Amino acid sequence: MGIIKQPENPRDANQLTRAYMDSILVEPRYLGSCTPDISMELFGKRFSSPIMIAAFSHLSGTHTGGMPEMARGAKLAGICNWAGMGDEKELSDILATGAETIKIVKPYANREAVFDMLEFAKRSGALAVGMDIDHSFDVRGKPDVVLGLEMKPVSEEELADFVRATDLPFIVKGVLSEADAEKCARAGVRGILLSHHHGIMPYAIPPLMALPKIRAAIGNQMEIYVDCGIETGCDAFKALAMGAKAVCVGRSILPSLKENGAQGVKEYVDNMADELRGMMARTASRDLAHIAGDLLWDASTGKKIVL
């Protein structure tokens, strides 16, 4: 049909993700609809919506309050917060805000440090823990080094060891293939976050493009969350209609944090939630469990997306 603008740089995974997101159209359904309930339960906690804060790190350059200020925004909005790289004090400050938080640990070459971080997160009251497996390598294919700390790729066996090391739910961030999803399932992982880490690899498949086959491969063995390119309630709706449990909003929220701190975060999330609610009302989706899987169309072909 040719109604979607192609990315200027076809290598850029972020542009590819945006283009694919915009190529998905939604079929309205009005009869029998109602004002929807967009609340979500995750690991025994109730949240106002399936919109979550992405696993940011090092936000002090965006706002003086840094990661704890973002967490305060999540708390105000009543949503789940994720936290990326940071020391024990920062995690303690994040959790002190009262925001239910999922702590993501990097695949440090020093495996003892990984186990220590998982244990500290549990003692400190994190909702869940996990690891971003896509930070194992740099652009040259060598072990990545972040802030002077070397990373190391993770085997399926090591992942199972990490899962067994904690009784908190364990989530893997950076899954974009059926192969990795199936390994996560075998390792006992509770959830996977589909993400290309803001375009860490050229030509990376958009998460929503990978989602249907991953869902088909793992069934209901694990929950699926979506990261990258989620900027609006419409984006969130498309991910949920494809079978995601929840979504993470990333860099698009940073200007709101910078300009108005926690209140800015809340306002951005509230706007996304309103838009999601509107999309659900216009598709006869009374709650998250009743978003139909046959609502989406591919603008490039003019045909329904088969899930």
All structural domains of the chain with their residue ranges: 13-300
How high is the pLDDT of residue 6? Answer: 81
Q: How many angstroms separate the CA atoms of 126 and 121, rounded?
A: 5
Q: How many angstroms separate the CA atoms of 218 and 184, rounded?
A: 10
How high is the pLDDT of residue 1? Answer: 46
Q: How many angstroms separate the CA atoms of 57 and 144, rounded?
A: 16
Active site residues: 197
| Class of domain 13-300 (CATH, top level) | alpha beta
How high is the pLDDT of residue 154? Answer: 97
Say what the pTM is. Answer: 0.96
Conformation bin of residue 101: beta by default, left when phi > 0, alpha when psi is -120 to 50: beta
* Residue ranges in the chain whose pLDDT is less than 50: 1
How high is the pLDDT of residue 108? Answer: 97
Asked if 216 and 247 touch (Cβ cutoff 8 Å), the reply is no
Asked if 14 and 199 touch (Cβ cutoff 8 Å), the reply is yes
Asked if 230 and 248 touch (Cβ cutoff 8 Å), the reply is yes
Cβ neighbour number for residue 289 with a 10 Å cutoff: 8
Q: How many angstroms separate the CA atoms of 306 and 296, rounded?
A: 8
Q: How many angstroms separate the CA atoms of 240 and 151, rounded?
A: 33
* Chain CA centroid to CA 1, Å: 31
How high is the pLDDT of residue 243? Answer: 96
Nearest to 247 by CA among 221, 222, 225, 218: 225
How high is the pLDDT of residue 4? Answer: 64
Nearest to 174 by CA among 204, 140, 212, 143: 204
* Chain CA centroid to CA 91, Å: 19
